[in-house]
Amino acid sequence: MDRRKRQILDILSDKEYVTAQNLAQQIQVGTKTIRNLLKEMNREMEACGGAILSKYGVGYYLKITDKEKFETFQRKLYSRLSDEYLPGTSEERIQYLLEYLFNSPSYVKLDELSESLFISKRTLTADLKEVEQYIKQFNIKVIRKPNYGIKLEGGEFDARLCIASFSGKRLHKGNQSMDEIAACVSSVLKSNDFTITGASYQNLVVHLYIAISRIMECHYVPLPKEHMEKKDDSLEYQIATEIARSLQTTFHITFPETEIFYIAIHLAGKKIIYPRDEAEQNMIITQEINDLVTAMLERVYDLFKFDFRNDLELRMILCQHLVPLSVRIKYDMNLKNPLLRDVKEKFCLSYTMASNGVTVINEHFHVLLSEDEIAYFAFAFALALERKKSEIQKKNILLVCSSGRGSAKLLQYKYQSYFKDYINNITACDLGSLYKVDFADYDYIFTTVPITVPVPLPILEVQYFLDDNDIVNVKKVLCSEKTSSVMNYYEKEMFLPHLKLRTKEEVLRCMCHFVMEEKNLPQEFYESVLKRERLAKTAFGNMVAMPHVYKAISQETFVCVGILDEPVDWGGQKVRAVFLVSIANKDHTSVELQRFYQMTAAFLLSQKEIQDLVKKQDYDAFIEAMTWIEKQLPKEL
């Protein structure tokens, strides 16, 4: 009895009827094939205590006449099939096809493949399209030859990266060879005091397992001569040589020099470099890398107005991370980040800063860094933001008093003296001069007299002679941070439901021009959004895209939310909700922007909230959900 009959047996029961059409859909064959299979099954089960009966207009059901006999029949059937592995879902079939095609030394005929998988040619064709899409990112393609079938074509280095990407997790399950490789690697790295992260270590073991398997099949990595000539100079090559010797003894194979260099490349792309590295080799940060970091910090400042340009610790962390990253970029290697989702949700501002900063790297190396790589940079920005929290954000104060000019100057001097660590600038004026003041230049008003005219700033009434209570109260005000409010960023006028647009380009054009008109922004806004879009992905996952400007332009921070009636393709992802973000062109406090990004990220990553948003397309419901999320945030970030 073949696997299709086993599937039919699993679906049928002696309690429920199932139609031939329903069976055909689940097993992905025609109804005629189903009826033929049912006839064969009845003949095979005739003496085994079971039969498949039918009822006109209702369907088929399994009738068990002898429970003991039937259970014996099932046990034999299932044990016979347990040694075979055939995928049941489309996802499993794609994994199977990838492994099968990479291991096949020659062309594979589609008819034989569909027959061995017990699926229709149509189903196989659909799965192969997914396979082609997947391997395309590794520069590998499917070659078709009439009367011969299909096979994969691409470089050996790319092939191994591709195999590692789809088989990494599965290889770790009870694999003795993997354990032996891990023991060899661990011993050599420890003896050389060479440090890599846990995720990188697992990744290295997987690549070595694949390398050994490919070498046994006579597939070797070719490397250019210019790379091989520099091999002996590096610590990584020396350690790779030791690893290769250990693996040769364990697996009884020979590692040619190109394969040793292949191991060295992985080591160089995964190593951790500490600020005070005590290893024998010096940590070399080239002028190229230093210039890249300078440009990254400049680009982050241009958009977010957070000034990290003089943050030496952040600069050094970024430089150190770029050393192994430049190796990974050179050889198209991608380092997976197991904390990607957590980083996007809990450190959304840091992640967004990192994604903007790495556009410098994308331009320089002509690549598009993955979300996994961006998340590693996000950790560095998260640490820098934490350090900024301990820094006091100095305020600009407008001091209003009714006394003469001399006494006002004295009071101004007192405040400047008492609160020099908290005040950036303090300006004194009388009540009658308030109408001349540009309030945009100040954070608070301190006044010795009542102010009855409306002003757009918080007012603190103070005494002319400062006592201890006054000093405490003033310090509380100066140390406080404005916290975000949903309504400050998500205005009703900026909520655009039921957009009937077909492409990403149409969406950006429509939303940008709407924002430019509503907020009186120049054409530069649209051009800035398009420029940023070309440099890095803005699809956030979960049917959401989060485009924003390349450089801060607007006077205020706001979000324009666009909801599409039909999904559009956004760089390979389907998108229904677009959050077009514009950050104000002014200096920000860390808490202010972090709260905004954290509540926004929590909403965007929630499958339920996004589904409700695209279904209801209602502003009030959206604000209610976003407000609830904001209330769940910790008071101090």
Give the tens place of pLDDT for each residue, 396-446. Answer: 888 887 655 556 677 777 777 777 777 888 888 887 788 888 888 888 888
Sketch the domain layout of the chain as residue ranges.
3-82, 90-154, 160-268, 287-389, 395-479, 486-632
Domain 287-389, second-level architecture: Orthogonal Bundle (1.10)
Neighbours of 479 (CB within 10 A): 12
| pLDDT for the residue 611 | 93
CATH of 3-82, one of 3.40.50.970, 1.10.8.50, 1.10.10.10, 3.90.1150.10: 1.10.10.10
Provide the pLDDT for residue 82: 43
Sheet holding 459-461, edge to edge: 423-429, 395-400, 444-447, 459-461
- Report the pLDDT value the prediction gives residue 277, as an integer from 0 to 100: 41
Q: Indicate the pLDDT class of residue 472, thresholds 50, 70 and 90.
A: low
Cβ-contact 244, 255 below 8 angstroms: yes
Higher per-residue pLDDT: 588 or 265: 265
d(CA 315, CA 248): 42
Confidence class for position 594, pLDDT limits 50, 70, 90 = confident
Residue found under tokens 């006054």: 470
Higher pLDDT pick, 592 / 256: 256
User: What does the pLDDT average to over 581-608?
Assistant: 80
Instruction: Round to whole Å and give the CA distance between 566 and 351.
Output: 28
Q: How far is CA 346 from CA 139, 195, 359, in A?
A: 34, 27, 22
Let me know if the fold of 160-268 is the same as that of 287-389. yes
Q: What pLDDT shows up at residue 478?
A: 62
The percentage of the chain sitting over the pLDDT mark of 90, rounded to a whole number, equals 22
141-145 and 149-153 as β-strands: parallel, antiparallel, unpaired? Answer: antiparallel
DSSP secondary structure of 517-574: HHTT--THHHHHHHHHHHHS--EEETTEE--B-SS--SSS-EEEEEEEEEEEEETTEE
The pLDDT value given to residue 461: 76
Structural contact between residues 464 and 596, judged by C-beta atoms closer than 8 angstroms: no
User: In which band, very low, low, confident or very high, does the pLDDT at 382 lie, cut at 50, 70 and 90?
Assistant: confident
- Predicted confidence (pLDDT) at residue 289 exceeds the cutoff of 80: yes
Question: Measuring CA to CA, which residue among 36, 584, 580, 45 is closest to residue 306?
Answer: 584
pLDDT digits (tens, 9 = 90+) for 260-283: 888 888 888 876 554 444 444 445
Model confidence pLDDT, tens digit, residues 173-189: 557 788 889 899 999 98
CATH (residue range 160-268): 1.10.1790
User: What is the mean pLDDT of the segment spanning 299-304?
Assistant: 89
C-alpha distances in angstroms, 443 versus 208, 400, 425, 446, 455?
Answer: 59, 14, 10, 10, 12
Confirm if 348 and 601 have CB atoms less than 8 A apart.
yes
pLDDT at 278: 41
- The answer to whether residue 608 scores a pLDDT higher than 50 is yes
Rounded-to-integer distance, Cα 448 and Cα 430, Å: 10
Angle 267-339-212 (CA atoms, 0-180°, nearest 5)? 35
Asked if 349 contacts 384 with a C-beta cutoff of 8 angstroms, the reply is no
- Tokens coding 26: 């689940």
Q: Are 3 and 118 in contact (CB under 8 A)?
A: yes
> Which is higher by pLDDT, 583 or 431?
583
> What CATH number was assigned to the domain covering residues 90-154?
1.10.10.10
Provide the pLDDT for residue 225.
Answer: 60
Q: With respect to CATH, is domain 395-479 assigned 3.60.20.10?
A: no
Instruction: Output the pLDDT for position 50.
Output: 85
**Is 60 exceeded by the pLDDT of residue 131?**
yes
**Cβ 477 vs Cβ 421: under 8 Å:** no
Q: What is the mean pLDDT of the chain?
A: 82
Amino acid 595: pLDDT:
78
Phi, psi dihedral angles at 443 (to 5 degrees): -100, -40
Q: Is 163 helix (H, G, I), strand (E, B) or coil?
A: helix
Residue 581 near residue 548 (C-beta atoms within 8 A):
yes
pLDDT number for residue 523: 92
Cβ-contact 299, 355 below 8 angstroms: no
The Cα 503–Cα 295 span in angstroms is: 32
> Predicted confidence band at 168 (pLDDT cuts at 50, 70, 90)?
low
Long-range Cβ pairs for the range 280-289 (8 Å, 24+): 280/235, 281/235, 283/320, 283/323, 284/323, 285/319, 285/320, 285/323, 289/319, 289/322, 289/323, 289/326
Q: Where does the pLDDT of residue 587 fall: very low under 50, low under 70, confident under 90, or very high at 90 and above?
A: low
Q: Average pLDDT of 201-216? A: 86
Average pLDDT for residues 111-116, to the nearest whole number? 81
d(CA 45, CA 48): 5
Nearest to 475 by CA among 465, 466, 483, 488: 466
The answer, yes or no, to whether residue 527 has pLDDT greater than 90, is yes
Tokens of 288: 């190229």
DSSP 3-state helix, strand, coil percentages of the chain (rounded to 5)? 55, 15, 30
Crossing angle of helices 590-604 and 348-357, rounded to 10°: 100
- Nearest CA to 238 out of 277, 180, 188, 186 is that of 188
| pLDDT-based confidence at residue 81 (cuts at 50, 70, 90) | very low
Instruction: Report which DSSP code applies to 225.
Output: H
- pTM, two decimals, is 0.56
Q: Report pLDDT for 580.
A: 96
Reply yes or no on whether the pLDDT at 226 is more than 60. no
* pLDDT, mean of residues 200-220: 85
Which of 238-242, 329-333, 599-603 is least confident? 329-333
Question: Domain 486-632: which topology?
Answer: Mannitol-specific EII; Chain A (3.40.930)
Q: Is the pLDDT of residue 516 over 70?
A: yes
Q: Are 462 and 399 in contact (CB under 8 A)?
A: no
Enumerate the H helices of 217-268 as residue ranges.
225-228, 235-251, 257-268
Q: How confident is the model at residue 96 (pLDDT cuts 50, 70, 90)?
A: confident
What is the C-alpha to C-alpha distance for residues 343 and 375, in angstroms, rounded to an integer?
6
What are the CA-CA distances from residue 25 to residues 8, 21, 30, 37 (Å)?
11, 6, 8, 14
Average pLDDT on 238-248 reads: 92
pLDDT for residue 145 is more than 50: yes
If you average pLDDT over each of 48-62, 307-321, 513-527, which comes out highest?
Answer: 513-527
State the first-to-last Cα distance of the chain, in angstroms, to the nearest integer: 62
Note the pLDDT of residue 613.
95
* 475 three-class SS: helix
| For residue 338, pLDDT beyond 90 | no
Region 575-600: mean pLDDT is 81
